């Protein structure tokens, strides 16, 4: 009955229909951008800005079936804010599984750290990219190399939409898979700061609360991006500005709030204690 009531309330909200229309528009945009991201980007050492708070490398990890072109909006906002070392990762889930893809991410991060000379990086992952980030931090050496871990619309507890896709990676993204069970295990204390963006209109993350990081050992900050679909969350200027804010807060930039876990978000669904990011207002 609660699920039915939730659906009825959603269908009565104008924001639901504008959000769906926005998602269709952004799906077309992403399809048009896709050819521009087929090839991997060259990693450069970049010129330090003199402000160490903006020189920490930022690594952007796309989701299932996408490529680095999906990060055009976030890259623009990061560079405009003064971040000098912004990098992307390309990968294909076809013929691979989550641990193998996380190993590819680890290799890319090691290469970025070697070229830039930085010990730690910030990492932002969309959808499957966030799950790869979780695996890298929890099951590999990521707890020593990642400073801030941000996920956008990632199925941390799995998604039933993965049943529509074939392959090992898709199977591992389903609720109850061995990968999801492994990521739910206790995590040793570490210095990684976790932030998770989730949406009330993401039809590819089902249940929607799966995009929240509820693991008690990660002490994640959870942010609701209201009325944005799966792709819309990645290309939203509002979300991009919030990502910049979170990274600057982690670096101690003046005028930003301290990054703290929102414990209430672990215990309640959207609207009950979570910080909210909407298209008309940015509240961190």
Q: How far apart are CA 99 and CA 150, in angstroms?
A: 19
Residue 174: partners with Cβ closer than 8 Å, 6 or more residues away: 158, 159, 160, 162, 163, 180
Q: Is the pLDDT of residue 220 over 80?
A: yes
pLDDT at 122: 98
163-180 mean pLDDT: 96
Q: Is the pLDDT of residue 121 over 80?
A: yes
pLDDT at 50: 73
117-138 mean pLDDT: 97
pLDDT at 76: 97
164-180 mean pLDDT: 96
137-150 mean pLDDT: 97
Q: Is the pLDDT of residue 3 over 80?
A: no
pLDDT at 10: 56
pLDDT at 256: 65
Residue 252: partners with Cβ closer than 8 Å, 6 or more residues away: 53
pLDDT at 281: 34
**Residue % of the chain over a pLDDT of 70:** 84
pLDDT at 131: 98
pLDDT at 44: 79
Sheet architecture: strand order including 146-152: 86-89, 58-61, 121-126, 146-152, 193-198, 221-225, 275-278, 281-282
Q: Is the pLDDT of residue 276 over 50?
A: no
pTM for the complete prediction?
A: 0.87
The residue with greater pLDDT, 240 or 10, is 240
pLDDT at 29: 96
Q: Is the pLDDT of residue 204 over 60?
A: yes
Residue ranges of domains in the chain, CATH in brackets: 2-282 (3.40.50.1820)
Scanning the structure block, which residue is given the tokens 């040793």? 188
The residue with greater pLDDT, 149 or 42, is 149
Residue 15, phi-psi category: left (phi > 0), alpha (psi -120 to 50), beta (remainder): alpha
**Of the ranges 15-19, 25-29, 176-180, 242-246, which one carries the lowest mean pLDDT score?**
15-19
Summary mean pLDDT of the chain? 87
pLDDT at 115: 94
């Amino acid at each position: 009955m609660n699920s039915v009531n939730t659906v009825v309330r959603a269908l009565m909200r104008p924001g639901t229909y504008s959000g769906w229309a926005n998602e269709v528009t952004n799906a077309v945009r992403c399809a048009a951008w896709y050819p521009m991201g087929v090839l991997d980007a060259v990693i450069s050492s970049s010129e330090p800005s003199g402000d160490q708070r903006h020189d920490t490398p930022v690594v952007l990890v796309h989701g299932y079936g996408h490529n680095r072109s999906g990060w055009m909006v976030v890259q623009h906002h990061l560079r405009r804010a003064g971040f000098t070392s912004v990098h992307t990762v390309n990968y294909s889930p076809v013929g691979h599984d989550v641990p193998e893809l996380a190993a590819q991410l680890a290799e890319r991060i090691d290469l970025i750290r070697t070229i830039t000379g930085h010990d730690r990086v910030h990492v932002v992952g969309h959808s499957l990219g966030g799950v790869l980030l979780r695996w890298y931090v929890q099951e590999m050496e990521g707890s020593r190399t990642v400073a801030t871990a941000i996920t956008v619309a990632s199925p941390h507890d799995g998604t039933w939409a993965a049943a529509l896709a074939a392959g090992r990676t898709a199977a591992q993204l389903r609720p109850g898979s061995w990968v999801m069970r492994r990521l739910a295990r206790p995590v040793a204390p570490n210095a990684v700061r976790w932030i998770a963006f989730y949406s009330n209109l993401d039809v590819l993350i089902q249940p929607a609360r799966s995009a929240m990081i509820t693991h008690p050992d990660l002490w994640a900050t959870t942010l609701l991006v209201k009325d944005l679909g799966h792709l819309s969350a990645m290309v939203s200027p509002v979300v991009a500005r919030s990502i910049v804010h979170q990274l600057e807060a982690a670096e101690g930039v003046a005028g930003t709030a301290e990054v703290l876990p929102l414990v209430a978000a672990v215990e309640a669904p959207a609207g009950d204690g979570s910080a909210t990011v909407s298209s008309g207002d940015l509240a961190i």
